[in-house]
């Protein structure tokens, strides 16, 4: 053992990682912006390789797939783009208060489905019986309640029995999916399809079917920002999330905050379900939310729980999702290709946080002083 | 015997990020057969320096020489191969394993022969005078036994350069003496022992030489026999410091808080407070002494409304009106709403008293945010308070918008104590208020407590440094195993008396066997 020191190679490690917390916020955003750019280039190159199309042609297809033909003004496609952002953003906003409380709500999918179910149920059952205004109000209330209940159930178990909310909310998704499947089977007369319902749809503004959805989400975005930053409840959420001990120490009723916050989180998911059913599909199936409940988890994190940053993040991801799927369509690839590409960019965005929090130091080449 | 340098540090520099320089051009030599103290205030870079010797950090600049040869220590494993062993302040042991299992854990020599190891451990124990049962499970051990396991662990691996990071922080005076005895025996055996500490009297009683660090820079090394407390303090702080703690005589003492027969259990049903009764008076500082984890935290939390009591009463005498309120089974919010101005500086500052990721302003709001019926927060008053505390208590911070976790320990504590005092309390409970603080901050805290005492506040002070308790407190209550072992007058007691009370067992009145 004594000789190890003599035989050991005398060198310092080639690279070591150093924590940094001196990065200014504009520098951090520069890194994130650059990451998005690099991500776009990688997506372009990969698409080019797979589809055998030209490099710029790929981007042209993406762009026109999202915004419509270049220089032709903004068309319905652009509104559709905004609508897609709105849905993803709404889910991300819904998750944010729960996440800030460090309650890992993985059940946005199920909570939104239950909201959607409440909407379609009201549209079918009361569509002919109630005046339009009342019907919309009933749809809104029941959807919010349905989502909230789906969120409160795991919260109550967590608050009272300290169950693991990640698994609980995840499992609640499957229950919701099966309930929808059952409802569709009954309502669709065994056909597994519910034909679009015309009653209780959100009104089109101008020629734009999605205007109401977009406005609702815009309002929610601002309200959520204010709620988290300037309200007493938002403050309680932060305290509970940072340290339950501190919360107890100053006399916050932690159980109450957990349940209340999950009610809000679930309710907003329920709203998303309503937007999808009453504002978009006018029907329902088990794929209504289409996994966006999970993408929203990433959006909330990448947006650092700031609603306005989340707008940017969702805009990027939705752009890629639509754009790359258009590229895939043009080359007879299926939608998995677009999901892979979106996955790559999200992964890069998550990965770039490493370079914001740490810097890598290489072995310095300076001359060693002899002893 | 000519002294042989065991370890030499030359021009060691370590930076964290661009701004923080933890160590700057440190030169240090430790010889075989001596005990070297590394003395410095918190944040002076002692632990960082030792972590570089034990392979946890890698120096940015400079060289380390072991036995005269240049060494590269890039990992704890490298440190072991140079026979360097570090005993950390926080023990790194597996609770459900026995002492022997913990000691052999991680040794990659291809053989696993616990029986042989146990014999070896017993041999080491008897050689240096440790008292350890190798088969005993860690979770049944006292803190000092756990420390013994850590020390034997590095000896078992053949270490002959031992680094101990604040080893006495968790020990009673008697246990400390015992540890020092063992360390001296190791020194006589030719080992090189480096002990990190900020307690001056320990430095003077134990070490042969003292190396002093100040703000990451190496100040110098002196022979212990040629120095004294005030010289060392001056080296450490950079200026003369008055080390006297004042004990004010207020005279006006009324019963403020009467705790009667309080018993409570923890989550797994173990008794943590056992029939505790005492009275805290206005205008006095009641010290609480005891081995860490003897129920001090639970006692304060019971009073603050954070513990469920299985029996007993906590009575608060309202000043002036004399109205008696029972605080039992009230939440902190209810206690506040009753008009009881009870302030509490908990032991866990960032995990309980403050929120580390929030800025100073938001932390000021913790106590007061819920006032009023508005749905929205009002940040004006907390902001003013934050500015006032930063100014009055000389908090070093880039601004009121800085997250408190970025502040140094002393500044964190100033923010917390400042907030708790701001609500002009009638009862102020503080748990280990100077732990981890530099000398100047510590004395500022003592001064603040004395100011409160002068205002007639009843102060309950849980402390660990018995010297301080004896100097500062009017009365000292000694707690052991959740039971009050005695209350002594601070004016005519000694720390030896308190130390004996700390380890006294409640049932036979005899001193507990420390083995």
Q: How many domains does chain A have?
A: 1
Asked whether residue A335 carries a pLDDT value surpassing 70, the answer given is yes
Nearest chain A alpha carbon to B60: A364
**B42 falls within a domain:** yes
Residue holding tokens 């490690």?
A13
Q: How many domains does chain B have?
A: 3
Asked whether residue B173 carries a pLDDT value surpassing 90, the answer given is no
Residue holding tokens 């440094």?
B465
Least Cα distance to A224 among A331, A112, A349, A91 occurs for A91
- Measured between beta carbons, the chain B residues lying within 8 angstroms of A231 are 375-377
Chain B interface, best mutation among A230, A251, A360, by max B CB count within 10 A: A251
Residue A349's domain spans which residues? 11-362
**A299 falls within a domain:** yes
Question: Is residue B214 domain-shared with residue B258, that is, in the same domain?
Answer: no
Asked whether residue B208 carries a pLDDT value surpassing 50, the answer given is yes
Q: pLDDT grade, residue A61 (50/70/90)?
A: confident
Asked whether residue A315 carries a pLDDT value surpassing 90, the answer given is yes
Q: Using an 8 Å Cβ cutoff, are A212 and A201 in contact?
A: no
Asked whether residue A192 carries a pLDDT value surpassing 60, the answer given is yes
Q: Compute the distance between CA of residue B181 and CA of residue B183 in angstroms, rounded to an integer.
A: 5
Q: Compute the distance between CA of residue A102 and CA of residue B186 in angstroms, rounded to an integer.
A: 49
From the CA of B226, how many Å to the nearest CA of chain A? 30
What percentage of chain A exceeds 70 in pLDDT?
A: 92
**A367 falls within a domain:** no
Look at A51-55, A196-200, B264-268, B398-402 and tell me which has the smallest mean pLDDT.
A51-55
Question: Is residue B330 domain-shared with residue B356, that is, in the same domain?
Answer: no
Asked whether residue B384 carries a pLDDT value surpassing 50, the answer given is yes
Question: Is residue B406 domain-shared with residue B302, that is, in the same domain?
Answer: no
Beta carbons of B17 and A232 less than 8 Å apart: no
- Measured between beta carbons, the chain A residues lying within 8 angstroms of B375 are 231-233
Whether A15 contacts chain B with CB within 8 A: no
**B447 falls within a domain:** no
Question: Is residue B189 domain-shared with residue B309, that is, in the same domain?
Answer: no
Query: What is the CATH classification number for the domain harbouring A250?
Result: 1.10.3470
From the CA of A364, how many Å to the nearest CA of chain B? 9
Question: Is residue B124 domain-shared with residue B40, that is, in the same domain?
Answer: yes
**B510 falls within a domain:** no
Asked whether residue B506 carries a pLDDT value surpassing 70, the answer given is no
**B347 falls within a domain:** no
Beta carbons of B344 and A6 less than 8 Å apart: no
Least Cα distance to B466 among B175, B87, B131, B165 occurs for B175
Query: What is the CATH classification number for the domain harbouring B301?
Result: 3.40.50.300
Beta carbons of A250 and B346 less than 8 Å apart: no
Beta carbons of B10 and A21 less than 8 Å apart: no
Q: pLDDT grade, residue B311 (50/70/90)?
A: very high
Alpha-carbon separation of residue A259 from A58, A118, A241, B186 (angstroms): 48, 21, 13, 58
Asked whether residue A216 carries a pLDDT value surpassing 60, the answer given is yes
Q: Using an 8 Å Cβ cutoff, are A275 and A327 in contact?
A: no
Question: Is residue B137 domain-shared with residue B259, that is, in the same domain?
Answer: no
- Measured between beta carbons, the chain B residues lying within 8 angstroms of A8 are 72, 78, 81
Q: pLDDT grade, residue B216 (50/70/90)?
A: confident
Alpha-carbon separation of residue B154 from A82, B35, B124, B151 (angstroms): 63, 17, 11, 6
Question: Is residue B180 domain-shared with residue B271, that is, in the same domain?
Answer: no
Residue A171: alpha-carbon gap to chain centroid: 19
Beta carbons of A1 and B158 less than 8 Å apart: yes
Q: Select from B71, B331, B377 the Cβ nearest to the Cβ of A251.
A: B331
**B512 falls within a domain:** no
Beta carbons of A371 and B65 less than 8 Å apart: yes
> Per 3-state DSSP, what percentage of chain B is helix, strand, and coil (rounded to 5)?
35, 25, 40
Average pLDDT in the A100-117 region?
96
Q: Select from B63, B332, B374 the Cβ nearest to the Cβ of A249.
A: B332
Residues 267-326 of chain A with CB under 8 A from chain B are: none
Beta carbons of A251 and B305 less than 8 Å apart: yes
B508 vs B495: which has the higher pLDDT? B495
Question: Is residue B479 domain-shared with residue B384, that is, in the same domain?
Answer: no
Beta carbons of A243 and B58 less than 8 Å apart: no
pLDDT value at residue B505: 63
pLDDT value at residue A365: 53
Asked whether residue B507 carries a pLDDT value surpassing 60, the answer given is no
Question: Is residue B232 domain-shared with residue B297, that is, in the same domain?
Answer: no
Beta carbons of A19 and B17 less than 8 Å apart: yes
Average pLDDT, chain B: 88
**B472 falls within a domain:** yes
Question: Is residue B392 domain-shared with residue B429, that is, in the same domain?
Answer: no
Question: Is residue B303 domain-shared with residue B375, that is, in the same domain?
Answer: no
Beta carbons of A235 and B369 less than 8 Å apart: yes
- Measured between beta carbons, the chain A residues lying within 8 angstroms of B78 are 8
Beta carbons of A243 and B351 less than 8 Å apart: yes
- Measured between beta carbons, the chain B residues lying within 8 angstroms of A102 are none
**A2 falls within a domain:** no
**A3 falls within a domain:** no
Question: Is residue B331 domain-shared with residue B361, that is, in the same domain?
Answer: no
**A368 falls within a domain:** no
Chain A interface, best mutation among B18, B80, B429, by max A CB count within 10 A: B18
What does DSSP say about strands B209-214 and B475-480: parallel, antiparallel, or unpaired?
Answer: unpaired
Nearest chain B alpha carbon to A231: B376
From the CA of B233, how many Å to the nearest CA of chain A? 33
What percentage of chain B exceeds 70 in pLDDT?
A: 97
Residue B477's domain spans which residues? 252-341+425-436+452-505
From the CA of A9, how many Å to the nearest CA of chain B? 9
């Amino acid at each position: 053992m004594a000789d190890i020191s003599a035989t050991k190679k005398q060198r310092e490690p080639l690279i070591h990682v150093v924590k940094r917390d001196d990065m200014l916020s504009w520098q951090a955003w520069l890194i994130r912006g650059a990451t998005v750019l690099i991500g776009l280039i990688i997506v372009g190159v990969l698409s080019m390789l797979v589809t055998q199309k030209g490099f710029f042609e790929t981007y042209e297809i993406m762009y026109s797939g999202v915004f419509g033909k270049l220089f032709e003004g903004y068309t319905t496609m652009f509104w559709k783009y905004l609508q897609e952002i709105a849905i993803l953003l709404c889910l991300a906003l819904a998750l944010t208060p729960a996440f800030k409380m460090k309650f890992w709500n993985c059940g946005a999918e199920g909570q939104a489905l239950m909201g959607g179910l409440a909407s379609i149920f009201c549209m079918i059952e009361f569509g002919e019986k109630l005046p339009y205004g009342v019907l919309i109000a009933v749809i809104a209330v029941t959807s919010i309640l349905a989502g909230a209940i789906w969120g409160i159930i795991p919260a109550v178990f967590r608050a009272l029995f300290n169950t693991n909310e990640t698994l609980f909310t995840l499992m609640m998704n499957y229950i919701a999916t099966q309930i929808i499947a059952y409802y569709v089977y009954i309502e669709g007369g065994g056909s597994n399809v519910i034909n679009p319902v015309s009653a209780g749809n959100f009104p089109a503004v101008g020629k734009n079917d999605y205007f109401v959805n977009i406005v609702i989400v815009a309002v929610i975005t601002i309200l959520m920002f204010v709620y988290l930053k300037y309200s007493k409840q938002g403050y309680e959420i932060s305290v509970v999330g940072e340290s339950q001990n501190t919360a107890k120490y100053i006399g916050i009723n932690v159980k109450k905050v957990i349940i209340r916050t999950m009610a809000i989180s679930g309710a907003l998911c329920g709203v998303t379900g309503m937007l999808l059913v009453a504002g978009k599909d006018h029907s329902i199936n088990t794929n209504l939310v289409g996994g966006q409940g999970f993408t929203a988890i990433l959006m909330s994190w990448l947006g650092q729980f700031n609603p306005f940053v989340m707008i940017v993040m969702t805009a990027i991801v939705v752009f890629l999702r639509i754009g790359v799927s258009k590229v895939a369509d043009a080359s007879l690839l299926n939608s998995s290709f677009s999901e892979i590409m979106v996955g790559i960019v999200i992964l890069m965005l998550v990965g770039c946080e490493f370079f914001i929090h740490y810097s890598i130091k290489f072995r310095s080449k300076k001359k060693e002083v002899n002893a | 015997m000519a002294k042989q340098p065991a370890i030499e540090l030359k021009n060691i520099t370590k930076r964290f990020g661009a701004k923080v320089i933890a160590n700057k051009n440190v030169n240090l030599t430790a010889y075989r057969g001596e005990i070297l103290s590394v003395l410095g205030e918190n944040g002076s870079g002692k632990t960082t320096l030792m972590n570089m010797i034990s392979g946890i950090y890698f120096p940015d600049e400079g060289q380390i020489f072991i036995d005269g040869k240049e060494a590269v220590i890039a990992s704890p494993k490298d440190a072991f191969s140079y026979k360097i062993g570090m005993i950390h302040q926080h023990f790194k042991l597996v609770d459900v394993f026995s002492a022997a299992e913990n000691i052999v854990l991680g040794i990659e020599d291809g053989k696993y022969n616990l029986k042989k190891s146990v014999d070896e451990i017993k041999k080491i124990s008897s050689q240096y005078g440790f008292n350890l049962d190798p088969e005993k499970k860690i979770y049944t051990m006292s803190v000092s036994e756990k420390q013994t396991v850590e020390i034997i662990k590095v000896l078992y691996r053949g270490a002959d350069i031992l680094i101990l990071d604040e080893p006495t922080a968790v020990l009673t005076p008697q246990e400390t003496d015992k540890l020092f005895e063992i360390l001296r025996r190791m020194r006589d055996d030719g080992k090189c022992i480096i002990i990190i500490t900020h307690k001056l009297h320990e430095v003077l009683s134990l070490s042969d030489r003292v190396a002093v660090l100040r703000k990451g820079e190496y100040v110098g090394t002196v022979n212990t026999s040629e120095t004294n407390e005030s010289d060392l303090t001056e080296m450490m702080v950079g200026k003369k410091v008055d080390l006297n703690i004042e004990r004010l005589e207020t005279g006006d003492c009324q019963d403020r808080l009467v705790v009667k027969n309080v018993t409570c259990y923890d989550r797994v049903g173990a008794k943590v407070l056992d029939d505790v009764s005492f009275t805290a008076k206005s205008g006095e500082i009641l010290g609480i002494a005891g081995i860490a984890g003897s129920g001090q935290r639970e006692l304060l939390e019971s009073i603050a409304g954070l513990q469920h009591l299985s029996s007993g009463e906590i009575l608060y005498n309202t000043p002036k009106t004399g109205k008696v309120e029972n605080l039992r089974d009230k939440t902190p919010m209810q206690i506040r709403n009753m008009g009881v101005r009870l302030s509490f500086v908990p032991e866990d500052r960032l995990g309980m008293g403050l929120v580390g990721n929030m800025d100073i302003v938001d932390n000021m709001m913790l106590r007061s945010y819920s006032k009023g019926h508005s749905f929205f927060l009002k940040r004006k008053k907390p902001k003013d308070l934050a500015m006032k505390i930063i100014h009055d208590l000389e908090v070093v911070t880039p601004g009121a918008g800085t997250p408190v976790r970025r502040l140094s320990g002393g500044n964190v504590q100033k923010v917390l104590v400042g907030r708790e005092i701001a609500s002009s309390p009638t009862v102020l409970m503080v748990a280990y208020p100077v732990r981890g603080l530099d000398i100047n901050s510590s004395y500022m805290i003592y001064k603040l407590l004395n100011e409160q005492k002068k205002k007639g506040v009843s102060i309950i002070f849980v402390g660990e440094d018995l010297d301080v308790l004896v100097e500062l407190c009017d009365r000292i209550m000694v707690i052991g195993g959740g039971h009050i072992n005695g209350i002594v007058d601070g004016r005519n007691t000694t720390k030896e008396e308190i130390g004996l009370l700390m380890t006294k067992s409640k049932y036979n009145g005899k001193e507990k066997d420390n083995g």
